[in-house]
Structure 1
Amino acid sequence: MKLKLVKSIKLSLALLMTMSIAGSCTAATVTTNYQGSNEDFPNPERGFFSSSMSTQEDSPLDLSTVQNVKNNNHTLIRRIYNIPNYRNSALPQSFLNLIKNDCESARKGGVKLFLRFTYNFEWEGPDARRDIILSHLDQLKPVLEQNKDVIAFMEAGFIGSWGEWHHSTNSLDNSGDRRTILNKILSVLPTDRMVAVRVPTYKTDALNNSNALTPQEAFNSSYRARTGHHNDCFLASADDAGTYDSSNAEKTKSFLNLDTRYVVQGGETCTTSEYDDCPNAMKDLERMHWSYLNRWFEENVLKGWQDQGCLETVKRRLGYRFRMIDSNIPDKVKPNGTFSMSFKVTNEGWASPYNPRNLEVVLRNKNTGQQYYLPVSEAVRMWMPGETKTVNITGGIPSTMPLGEYQVLLNLPDPTSTLRNRPEYSIRLANQNVWEASTGYNSLLRSVIVDPNAGGDTYSGSQLFKASGGTNSQSPSNNNSSKTVTFYEDSNFSGKSQSFGVGTYRADKGQLNQV
């Protein structure tokens, strides 16, 4: 009996020792819950937009106009090019230069454009022949490719009144010509950009497919996956002034409800009606996954929404709106060790992003400011409205990574090389106390300590955190951000400047010296 008891005690002690050793080999994980925010703030490629029209080359998009748009919390400008003088001729280089300059103004100002080309801006105004349109699109191709970073998408344009594909004076408002021109637009646009057509049947007829996109077809760069929708008479009537099938509007809405999960949808109101109240607006904006809406037209409809109390909700929920729920992050990790974390995010907007979007985890040394970032393979465009997504992330800590405490941050930058360094083009989360305007990062409000004595597995994969530069680099996606420093006052230093890193400085005889 004693022998059995001794064996039992030894076995229990051995089990406890095994459990203790296993526990010491695994770093503790800290769960953080995040508080949501109801603030209306700008995010790229979504929300209310402002509209600007150019006739020939007489009205370029200047930087002050872009800045006024930004001051209204808008990140999108609809740029309409009304080109009646070129109905029968090639586009001159001066016009192509105008588009380039407009894109540069947008780039400098921190917004994106969506474009429409039209040969008139009036009811039953004259358009151009098909061969002219096709040749104009060939001319536009290099400009579109060179400036795709600030082109969110295109509205189909070119045909008929206002470029909305009806009342063509050249009889182009038929399935065959629409198909030819839509295919041409899609062929000259960069393959990661979409085009929006005015009426859903224009898409289904032109592409010979009446089915809505499936998750398997989403974002696969096919013409169907790149053709979205714009409704420029939202809530004007039971069928939105002919946008939907007048005999079965519900059928069209059911198609759009499925198709617009994966393509861009937006537009504007055009007149007051019995259908334009808040309940109808909120229902259809959500059902058809609207990403963008004209803020200034039609004024009486929008004023009605303001008076009825839904305008602020519309501002917040157009497009995507990602809110972090919680995260699980290790408190320590060793050099050459495995960094594993997860987070849970929900989309409180009415749509998901329609353009590609990157995701990366950033570790920033609290003392030196040195940054390391880990690109994450994650389909952000599949963070669907109304759904909650859990993202699991695993990467390796470099063996040469300096020891110390690192803040953990999340970055969702624009994937284009010209904009990924620009914080205003990164996605902001709808949470309190997480946004860093100077970097475009979202703080996860946690730190991890790189410690050689930390437990955990040695990393054997290929996804290592990458150094983003020296201590002067605030972000792997933002090498020009300002740094937080502390100054001791010195009158001799007034009006002078020099480059410096993070730290505390004393001004002495007109020079800054780190202390």
Structure 2
Amino acid sequence: MRIQHVVKNLKLSTALLATMAIAGSCTAAPVPRVTTTYEGSSENFSNPERGFYKSMEPLDNNPAPPLQLSELQQVRREKLSTIRRYYLLSDFRDKPISQPYLDMISNDLKTVRKAGIKMIVRFTYNWLGGGPDAPSSLMLSHLDQLKPILRANSDVIAYMEAGFIGYWGEWHHSTHNFTDHTTGKITNDAKKVALKILSVLPKNRMMVVRTLGYKKQIFDNDLPLTSEEAFNGSNRARTGHHNDAFRSTKSDWGTYSGNLEVMEQEKAWLNLDTKYVVHGGEPAGPSDPPEWDDCPGALTDFARMHWSGMTVNANGNYSVPVYQSWREQGCMNEIQQRLGYRFRLIDSAIVDKVKPAGTFSMSFRITNDGWASPYNPRSLEVILRHRETGQQYYIPVAESVRRWMPGETKTIDIVCGIPANINSGEYQVLLNLPDPAPKLYSRPEYSIRFANQNVWEPSTGYNSLLRSVNISPNVAGETYSGTQVFKLR
């Protein structure tokens, strides 16, 4: 690996201090910084809430058995971070969900947490061959039953597919006429179910619907999300998309209109909306026409609609020929790497030395080589770790990682204070992007890894910036006068 160290005198102007992510109201003398450049990595590795995921489906027309820790640990060994779990409610079409079944769902989510992965959830009243769904009153009642479980375990729920309505919970062929499969229209009862799902989920989790037309009708709004609306916690900002017939026909089996001119408008709409909401799904078997799912078209749609994930075993493995075709054509590695976010450090500039109670300053540049940004909240921290004792100090950075958009490079500037009582010594500088949920915060499996060589620490979940700062009372410089100071871990 080639790392360049160039000492530069960078003056921290008043304007720069005003815009720095965690700057306090202070002034600082010019400080020497060391610039480090980083090598990217083409390795395919696991990262939270992105990439291919395993689909855990009912057995024939029977509910799937409880999840086993060993099978989920195997999922992690396959470099997957997420599963999709179908819960078949066929036994409860005319009555409340039983307590044993509710207990199974709760235990499944606990097992998911133990395994260090997350779950995409879908509930359906039918499976093979379709069949009846349930009246809206019962769906709403079932959601009330599920609410405490979903809320208590939302930390390991990646997102929830709308489900409940129609065959496979895909909102078509509903026996209670929630949707009109020929016109794409939905009823007020369908809207109520969607809004109920959003009400039982916490504000930091999204629901996804089967077509963009459904989202427009649920909210009586034909416009895609704007940057101003993004991630604001509103129901519209929390509603994404799942395409369960990716590149299978020219209309993706009704995902789009089928008219190429109209379909272009629909994809342009999704291009804007999916910048800020999750988009996932699956193929539906070999395409018609046969070349429709070839690599060029697939890569174009993945990028344009900001795909975050796709099943590896969808539709009873009907997707296998599609994936085999992508391997043979040579685009599978790119798909594995670019589904969702993929952050790559470019360089950093970090102060070389600082005194206790002095000013620490740094900046780094990072780019997103993936097709999407993170869709759930994500923290960012700077860590200082004593090279000999391992003692750690950290400070949160007020930066929205969800706005590190595909193809964009971000520069993050940081100015903060060193504690007055810190021990002298050499401190490694690291970045941490943990899951903000308290039960997951300290678990490396839930932290984001950068696509760089030699920066990832699997034991901590930190990304090393390959630099240290010397903290000593003998260092010259002004005392930090702001409020943002590193805290002892």
Please say whether Structure 1 and Structure 2 have the same fold, judged by a TM-score greater than 0.5: yes
In the aligned structure 2, how far is the partner of 1:32 from the partner of 1:82? 53
- Deviation, structure 1 residue 462: 1.5
- Is the alpha carbon distance of 1:267 and 1:31 closer, same or farther for their aligned partners in structure 2, counting shifts above 3 Å? same
Unaligned 5+ segments in structure 1 are: 1-23, 469-515
Instruction: Look up the SS of the partner of 1:449 in the other structure.
Output: strand
Alpha-carbon contact 1:335-1:401 (below 8 Å) kept: yes
Equivalence map 1:398-477=2 (5 Å): 398-468=419-489
In 1, distance between residues paired with 2:478 and 2:444?
34
Counterpart amino acid of residue 221 in structure 2: N
Q: Which of 32, 35, 50 matches 1:31?
A: 35
Counterpart of 1:51? 55
The CA deviation at 1:54 is 4.6
1:156 aligns with 2:129: no
What is the CA–CA distance in structure 2 between the aligned matches of 1:440 and 1:294, rounded to whole Å? 25
How big is the shift at 1:124? 3.9
Aligned counterpart, 1:182: 194
Contact kept in structure 2, 1:118 and 1:162, CA below 8 Å: yes
Report the Cα offset of residue 43 of structure 1: 0.1
* Segment of structure 1 superposing worse, 459-468 or 130-139: 459-468
Please list every run of at least 4 consecutive aligned residues from structure 1 whose deviation after the TM superposition is greater than 4 angstroms.
54-58
Q: Secondary structure at the match of 1:432?
A: coil
**Amino acid aligned to 1:176:** N
- Partners of 2:34 and 2:187 in 1: CA distance: 58
Q: CA deviation at 1:254?
A: 0.5
Q: Secondary structure at the match of 2:419?
A: coil
> Deviation at 1:455?
2.9
The letter for the 2-side match of 1:226 is: R
Equivalent residue runs for 1:92-111 within 5 Å: 92-111=98-117
- Contact 2:73–2:115 (8 Å) recurs in 1: yes
Contact kept? 2:373, 2:405, Cα under 8 Å = yes
Q: What is the CA–CA distance in structure 2 between the aligned matches of 1:344 and 1:316, rounded to whole Å? A: 20
Say whether the 8 Å CA contact 2:119–2:157 is kept in structure 1. yes
Q: How does 1:203-352 map to 2 (within 5 A)?
A: 203-247=215-259, 248-273=262-287, 274=290, 275-297=292-314, 298-352=319-373
1:181-225 CA-to-partner distances (Å, cap 9, x unmatched) read 110000000110000101110001111111111100000010110
**Aligned-partner residue type, residue 159 of structure 1:** I
**Contact 2:64–2:87 (CA<8 Å) still a contact in 1?**
no
Counterpart AA for 1:258? L
8 Å contact 1:365–1:371 — kept in the other structure?
yes
User: Structure 2: which amino acid aligns with 1:162?
Assistant: W
Corresponding position of 1:115:
121
Q: Is the 8 A contact 2:63 2:87 kept in 1?
A: no
Match in the other structure for 1:15: none
Show the counterpart of 2:12.
none
Q: Which amino acid aligns with 1:32?
A: T
Instruction: Check conservation: 1:266, 1:293, Cα contact below 8 A.
Output: yes
SS at match of 2:138: helix
Give per-residue Cα distances to partners, 1:246-272, cap 9 Å, x unaligned. Answer: 231111101110000000001000121
**Counterpart of 2:247 in 1: which secondary structure?**
coil
Offset of residue 57 of structure 1: 6.5
Alignment: residue pair count: 445
The structure 2 residue matched to 1:354, chosen from 375, 379, 388, is 375
Residue pair 1:127, 1:158 contacting (<8 A) in 2 also = yes
- Distance in 1 between the 2:412 and 2:100 partners? 48
Percentage identity across aligned positions? 56
For CA contacts below 8 A with separation 6 or more, give which structure has more relative contact order. Answer: 2
> Are 1:123 and 1:162, in contact at CA under 8 Å, matched by a contact in 2?
no
CA distance in 2, matches of 1:175, 1:32: 57
Question: Which secondary structure does the structure 2 equivalent of 1:408 belong to?
Answer: strand
> Within 5 A, what are the aligned runs for 1:110-149?
110-149=116-155
1:492 alignment counterpart = none
The amino acid across from 2:308 in the alignment is S
Letter in 2 for 1:284: D
Which residue number corresponds to residue 13 of structure 2?
Answer: none
| Aligned residue identity for 1:195 | M
Structure 1 distance, partners of 2:279, 2:38, is 30
The residue type equivalent to 2:232 in the other structure is N
CA distance in 1, matches of 2:246, 2:147: 31
- Say whether 1:364 aligns with 2:385: yes
8 Å CA contact 1:45, 1:75 repeated in 2? yes
| Structure 2 match to 1:481 | none
Kept in 1: contact 2:366–2:411 (CA 8 A): yes
Contact 2:435 2:446 in 1 (8 A): yes
Partner Cα separation in structure 2 for residue 294 and residue 40 of structure 1: 16
Separation (CA, whole Å) in 2 of partners of 1:57 and 1:93? 15
Change (3 A) 1:240 1:57: closer
Question: How far apart are 1:25 and its partner, in Å?
Answer: 5.0
Query: Aligned equivalents of 1:180 and 1:341: distance in 2?
Result: 49
**Among residues 56, 71, 74, which one is paired with 2:80 in the alignment?**
74
Equivalent residues of 1:50, 1:295 under 8 A apart:
yes
Contact 1:26-1:457 at 8 Å conserved across structures:
no
Letter in 2 for 1:307: E
Q: 2:396 aligns with which of 352, 364, 375?
A: 375
Task: For 1:65 and 1:456, locate their aligned partners in 2 and report how far apart those are by CA, in whole Å.
Answer: 56
Contact 1:57/1:98 (8 A) holds in 2 = no
Q: Aligned partners of 1:57, 1:277: CA distance in 2, in Å?
A: 35
Q: What secondary structure does 1:51 align onto?
A: strand
Alpha-carbon separation, structure 2, partners of 1:51 and 1:85: 21
Alpha-carbon offset, residue 123 of structure 1: 4.4
CA distance, structure 2, for counterparts of residue 300 and residue 455 of structure 1:
65
Q: 1:460 to 1:25 in 2, by over 3 A?
A: closer
Q: Deviation of residue 145 (structure 1)?
A: 0.5
Residue 87 in structure 1 maps to residue 90 in structure 2? no
CA contact (8 A) 2:457 2:464 kept: yes
Deviation larger for 54-63 or 188-197: 54-63
Q: Would the alpha carbon gap of residues 67 and 381 (structure 1) be closer, same or farther in structure 2, given more than 3 Å must change?
A: same
CA contact (8 A) 2:372 2:405 kept: yes
Give secondary structure in 1 for the equivalent of 2:421: coil
Tell me if the contact between 1:319 and 1:353 (Cα under 8 Å) persists in the aligned partners: yes
Alpha-carbon displacement from aligned partner over 1:7-28 (angstroms, at most 9, x marks no partner): xxxxxxxxxxxxxxxxx95331
**1:37-90 CA distance string (max 9 Å, x none):** 000000000000001125776600110110111111000100000110000000
**Which residue does 2:22 correspond to in 1?**
none
